[in-house]
Amino acid sequence: MDLLSMVGMATKRRSDYFSQAKTLARKYKEQPILEERMKAESLGLVKGLRDKLMRWEEYERTMLDKVLTSALAAVILGLKDKQTDQKLEKTWPIIVGDMLPPLTKFLAETKEYIDSGVLRLGDQTLDFADADLLGAVPGAIDLDADVLAGVNPEEEGTSEAKQRRAQGQTWPSLADRVSRYLATPTFAFFALGEYMVAQDLGYKEMRRVAREDRKTCVDCKNYDSQGWVPVGEMPMPGKGCRCYDRCRCYIEYR
Ligand SMILES: [Zn+2]
Ligand SMILES: [Zn+2]
């Protein structure tokens, strides 16, 4: 599916997504729980495709639905019930613009792997449980930015394809990449919801606090060291840093 068809499909179903996102937000209540849940769903989705429980068209549509509803649900959690509908309208173009272009490319690449036999439907030679999937395996939950920091999901796919590395070319590693569309972005979208509330409350200053563990990247450390700046003058978590969706900086307002 090309980007235009993708955006068209999403636009048609916008109000469905809004109500589904509200249900999701009510159900999971906190961003880390939503993220964990979406990681598990990423695994389930890829398993379903591999085991031929769903056809390609259904996989594609489900990916689109889940990417958008999980992002919207994360915004709702960040808003904490403040003018949800009006704010969702405002974030919708941001979510569509951020997520659909890379998602379109990612899906096209997956389809290519399937068509060329790199990913074989029905192939169960590699067990999902053996792979090191972030959070997709019980006991392996790791919400930190990891050693892959420095590569966004889209570039990751491209550079891996060039280097003929395994990432995204085996079913378990595909599940990990899917979670970078469904799960890890919820952190940044949660922060976006909080940002809108802070604006309404009239806060004048913001600061970006890095986690300061060994995985924190140099960009995030720089933002952290700048301290308080006027609201809007500092990029949000996941923006302007090489952690991308894996960034776990949080924003404080005053
Ligand atoms: Zn960073
Ligand atoms: Zn960060």
pLDDT at 151 (0 to 100): 65
- Among the ranges given (37-46, 67-76, 213-222), the one the predictor scored with the smallest mean pLDDT: 213-222
Q: How many CB atoms are closer than 10 A to CB 29?
A: 10
Question: Model-level pTM greater than 0.75?
Answer: yes
Distance 216 CA to ligand 2 centre (A): 6
Separation CA 225–CA 2 (nearest Å): 42
pLDDT band, very low/low/confident/very high, at 128 (cuts 50, 70, 90): confident
pLDDT at 167 (0 to 100): 61
Residue 185 has pLDDT above 80, yes or no: yes
Burial 99-126 (b: 16+ CB within 10 A, else e): bbebbbebbebbeebbeeeebeeeeeee
Distance 140 CA to ligand 1 centre (A): 21
pLDDT band, very low/low/confident/very high, at 136 (cuts 50, 70, 90): very low
Q: Which ligand approaches the C-alpha of residue 150 most closely? A: 1
pLDDT at 145 (0 to 100): 36
pLDDT at 187 (0 to 100): 96
Q: Which ligand approaches the C-alpha of residue 210 most closely? A: 2
pLDDT band, very low/low/confident/very high, at 159 (cuts 50, 70, 90): low
Give the model confidence (pLDDT) of 47-91 as tens digits: 999 999 999 999 999 999 999 999 999 999 999 987 889 999 999
Distance 156 CA to ligand 1 centre (A): 16
Q: Which ligand approaches the C-alpha of residue 215 most closely? A: 1
Closest CA to 17 of 100, 80, 82, 134: 100
